[in-house]
């Protein structure tokens, strides 16, 4: 019998633990124009609209502050998308987090510090 190995990200696959009930998760709107956003992507909240986009430590529109982690992949190519995020009180696997292209080691360190303020701890 053949052994099959699956190495695909699953909804919430980055999560080690979270608070009881629904305290850790939040429904949000992802801003259009960001293509397919993968499970585990670190997100930021835009100041002007309150919509979420991939974190970008070089941003100046709210995208420079990490605010959540995307629970399940969503496509924003053709419009806004509703999603669930881990917004607080959780422990996550640092190796499973997804960072937008261009976010360097300094940006990752800053993003993890932003998440820690929300009691999202990466290990």
Query: Would 101 be classed as within a structural domain?
Result: yes
Q: What is the pLDDT of residue 5?
A: 58
Query: Would 56 be classed as within a structural domain?
Result: yes
Radius of gyration over every alpha carbon of the chain, rounded to an integer in angstroms: 14
Query: Would 4 be classed as within a structural domain?
Result: no
Helical H segments across 35-119, by residue range: 105-117
What DSSP state is assigned to residue 20? S
Which CATH number belongs to the domain containing residue 82 in this structure? Answer: 2.40.300.10
Query: Would 113 be classed as within a structural domain?
Result: yes
Mean pLDDT for each 10-residue chunk of the chain (123 residues)?
Answer: 67 91 96 97 98 97 98 97 98 97 97 98 97
The number of folded domains in the chain is 1
Q: What is the spatial distance between Cα 68 and Cα 54, in angstroms, rounded to a whole number? A: 9
CB 92 within 8 A of CB 15: yes
Q: What is the spatial distance between Cα 15 and Cα 117, in angstroms, rounded to a whole number? A: 17
Query: Would 7 be classed as within a structural domain?
Result: no
Residue with tokens 């099959």: 4
Query: Would 14 be classed as within a structural domain?
Result: no
Q: What is the pLDDT of residue 90?
A: 97
């Amino acid at each position: 019998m053949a052994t099959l190995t699956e190495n695909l990200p699953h909804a919430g696959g980055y999560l080690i633990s979270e608070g009881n009930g629904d305290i850790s998760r939040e429904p949000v709107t992802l801003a259009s124009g960001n293509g397919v956003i993968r499970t585990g992507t670190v997100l930021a909240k835009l100041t002007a609209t309150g919509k979420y986009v991939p974190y970008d430590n070089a941003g100046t529109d709210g995208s420079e502050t990490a605010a959540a982690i995307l629970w399940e992949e969503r496509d924003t190519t053709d419009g806004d998308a509703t999603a669930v995020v881990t917004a607080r009180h959780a422990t996550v696997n640092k190796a499973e987090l997804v960072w937008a292209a261009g976010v360097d080691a300094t940006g990752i360190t800053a993003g993890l510090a932003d998440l820690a303020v929300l009691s999202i701890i990466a290990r």
